[in-house]
Amino acid sequence: MKDKLLSLIRKPRFKKGVFISCAVIFFLFILFFSFRNIVLRSIIRSKIEKFNNTYPAKLSIADASFSGFTTINLNGILLIPDKKDTLLSCTSVSTGLRFFPLLLGNIVISDMDITGTMVNLVSKDSTDNFSFLLSRKPKTDSSAVANYSTHLNKLTNAVFNLIPGQFSLKSFVMKIALDSNLMTVRLNDLSMEDHKFVSSINIEENKKKETLIAEGNIDKSNRTLGFRLYADKGKFTLPLCKQRWGLVFSFDTLNVGISRNTYKDNEFQLQGYASAEGLVLNHRRISLYDVKMEKAGFDFQFHVGTDFIELDSSSVITYNKLSLNPYVLYKHATAKQLTLKINNEFSAQDFFSSLPEGLFTNFNGIKTEGRLRLYVNFFVDMNQPDSLTFDAYLKGKDFKVTKYGVTDFAMISGPFTFTAYENGNPVKSFIIGDDNPEFTPLNDIATYLKEAILVSENGGYYFSTGFDVGSLRLALIDDIKQKRFVRGGSTIEMQLVRNVFLNKNKTMARKFEELLIVWLMQTGDLCNKDRMYEVYLNVVEWGPGIYGISEASEYYFRKRPSQLSVAESIFLASILPRPKWFKYSFDAGGNLITEQNQYYFSNIASLLLAKSIITERDTFNLLQKVKLKGDSRNYLEKDTANYKLDPLKMMEGEMQ
């Protein structure tokens, strides 16, 4: 074999072939080096013209040229929107390309140096110099179906192919001016070598200075990456949020990374992690207090197909000592479909001690024993909302409370002082018990009223656990159909807890805490159903500044609660969801408006009739039998402005 190879090499024909090949390669190199700058400038000129014809802006590059073997230099880069402040300026960009992939038509960046970059984002009086970049609508085929896996694969390929192994960013400045809010971000020198980088980020917001450290690694060969952000001193507070949106968001450390990503048989698999330490949130819509989350993590595994995104149940959400394994499937075939499943068991104390500080203040310091199981099964097809499936429960095993924390929820079973709130401010306090002459025991309240409220608010009250999954399911269906929040699905127990233990501020935290308190009261058998209903009727709001059934009966009809008629009882039940807007149920003569009250009165009357609470005769002319007296009548006569308004629009969205 060796002799044959030597013989082939010695042949003149072989030597001639090698000579010709070398000559061709040499000639191609000569052509490449002779015309590469001309070709480069032609390509860049074409790209600039296309950009300038697409967007209302002018992109310019003062000079473009090759240096060395395959290094491209761009100098004097400017991006100026039409009649707006300059958006981008950059002194120079130097990019090294790998030669052999370039011969095959693939762009693989080996190194990149960017120097003297200024990004200037300006927004004032609803105009800005950057949103035009998002205004271009891509051409799409209306018959085409989004291919999630292909798009994600292209994105990750672009990231790992275009991110260079060696990278340097020098003298980078970003200025952000959003109306009166000013912020400057500076990176003096960010460099990446051997797949790793570290840099300090200096941020100045309205003369307040902070430093954030960014470090990470990008392994292009294994297609993995990881980033870590942490404050140089103390906590880092996200800029602009407080001034712009009233949100305080601060943290000690944030981590995010991709540990594995593969694409096979048109399915993309993505594994990674995200975690945060020392998170603090503060916003009036979230909670009245700082929400503190010391440690939270998310180890995820996604499966992405042509028309679905699936979070595998092997994924883990951790918060302090609590861990959950959610399963989520979003499918977009002929319709948008969403599935959510959770089925986890954990220590009861781990659950309560892991509740975020500032969100569940009533549970601070609570001590428990036993275990809990959380189960959630949710499915919805957005094209068929009536088929929505929802089942959920939190069950205890050998569960008991050994010590209550800030709030002893058992106090509701005996006399206590109730305080009513308006916009978070106390407006009225009174005793719920026999020491208060206005307190009305359950047996002294007209049966008509008690039953009218039950069939209206919570038909299965005496048989439910306080968390009515069926009512919540119907509320979700209505919300989806209306494409907005129209029903809350609150049971009587939930409304009672909201009034007694929670303030009147409508925060995100209130609903979750409300559900948990109701569950604890039912699980611990802290109060029987009659007592809970009795307290509810004595504390609930019935009008502007009117609390409790005794005050309501006097305010509207100058009667004791035991004397209320069928019509009066149905009226009082009708105003509970929006007690402050009772006046919009009446015309200028003080008569109930038929158009907006007839259906409700007829519906409640038919339900009472079916339960044999009333007779057929009681259902006649109900609206005409509601005659206001006393202070409510005076209030109605003095406030005539409401007759010129649309009552439905005024009441819309006002839920107790």
**For residue 519, which of 473, 468, 456, 485 has the smallest C-alpha distance?**
468
Decide if pLDDT at 189 tops 60.
yes
Q: CA 59 to CA 77: how far, in whole Å?
A: 8
Task: Give 74-117 pLDDT, tens digit per residue.
Answer: 999 999 999 889 999 999 999 887 765 555 555 667 788 999 99
Beta strands in 125-234 (DSSP E): 127-128, 166-178, 181-193, 196-205, 208-219, 224-231
Supply 264's token pair: 């096979």
Question: What percentage of the chain's residues is helix, strand, coil (to nearest 5)?
Answer: 35, 35, 30
**For residue 94, which of 127, 116, 121 has the smallest C-alpha distance?**
116
Integer-rounded Cα Rg, in Å, for the chain is: 35
What mean pLDDT comes out for the span 42-53? 88
pLDDT for 632 equals 86
Decide if pLDDT at 599 tops 60.
yes
Q: CA 298 to CA 285: how far, in whole Å?
A: 25
Decide if pLDDT at 323 tops 90.
yes
Q: CA 573 to CA 601: how far, in whole Å?
A: 10
pLDDT for 330 equals 94
Supply 61's token pair: 């590059």
What mean pLDDT comes out for the span 120-134? 87
Supply 429's token pair: 């306090």
Strands 224-231, 127-128: parallel, antiparallel or unpaired by DSSP? unpaired
Contact 149, 126 (CB under 8 A): no
pLDDT band at 608 (very low <50, low <70, confident <90, very high): very high
pLDDT for 644 equals 42
**For residue 490, which of 463, 504, 460, 511 has the smallest C-alpha distance?**
511
Task: Give 244-257 pLDDT, tens digit per residue.
Answer: 788 888 999 999 99
> Which residue is listed with tokens 């159903």?
529
Decide if pLDDT at 655 tops 50.
no
> Which residue is listed with tokens 């106390």?
426
Distance of alpha carbon 307 from the chain centroid: 23
> Which residue is listed with tokens 């209302």?
56
pLDDT for 315 equals 96
Strands 88-97, 71-81: parallel, antiparallel or unpaired by DSSP? antiparallel
Share of the chain above pLDDT 90, in %: 38
Please, what is the end-to-end C-alpha distance for the chain in angstroms? 94
The pTM assigned to this predicted structure is: 0.76
Supply 374's token pair: 């959380």
Domain 412-651, architecture per CATH: Orthogonal Bundle (1.10)
What mean pLDDT comes out for the span 475-486? 66
Q: CA 202 to CA 247: how far, in whole Å?
A: 21
Angle, helix 566-575 to helix 594-610, in steps of 10 degrees: 120
Contact 130, 85 (CB under 8 A): no
**For residue 410, which of 366, 348, 358, 454 has the smallest C-alpha distance?**
366
Q: CA 606 to CA 601: how far, in whole Å?
A: 9
Distance of alpha carbon 158 from the chain centroid: 28
Decide if pLDDT at 297 tops 50.
yes
HSE-up (13 A, CA, CB side) for residue 255: 16
Q: CA 219 to CA 395: how far, in whole Å?
A: 45
**For residue 203, which of 185, 177, 178 has the smallest C-alpha distance?**
185
Supply 256's token pair: 């995010």
pLDDT band at 145 (very low <50, low <70, confident <90, very high): low
Strand partners, 57: 81
Contact 346, 357 (CB under 8 A): no
Decide if pLDDT at 650 tops 50.
no
pLDDT band at 19 (very low <50, low <70, confident <90, very high): low
Locate the domains of the chain by residue range.
Answer: 320-407, 412-651
Contact 321, 372 (CB under 8 A): no
Q: CA 614 to CA 447: how far, in whole Å?
A: 10
Contact 405, 363 (CB under 8 A): yes
What mean pLDDT comes out for the span 530-555? 93
Supply 430's token pair: 């009174």
Decide if pLDDT at 368 tops 90.
yes
Residue 592 DSSP one-character state: B
What mean pLDDT comes out for the span 166-190? 88
470 versus 154: the higher-pLDDT residue is 154
Round the average pLDDT of the chain to a whole number and report it: 83
Supply 466's token pair: 């306080």
Residue type, 296: A
pLDDT for 645 equals 38
CB atoms within 10 A of CB 437: 8
Q: CA 538 to CA 436: how far, in whole Å?
A: 11
Decide if pLDDT at 279 tops 50.
yes
pLDDT band at 593 (very low <50, low <70, confident <90, very high): confident
pLDDT for 146 equals 63
- Among 24-38, 562-576, 642-656, the range scoring the smallest mean pLDDT is 642-656
pLDDT for 142 equals 44
Q: CA 641 to CA 289: how far, in whole Å?
A: 38
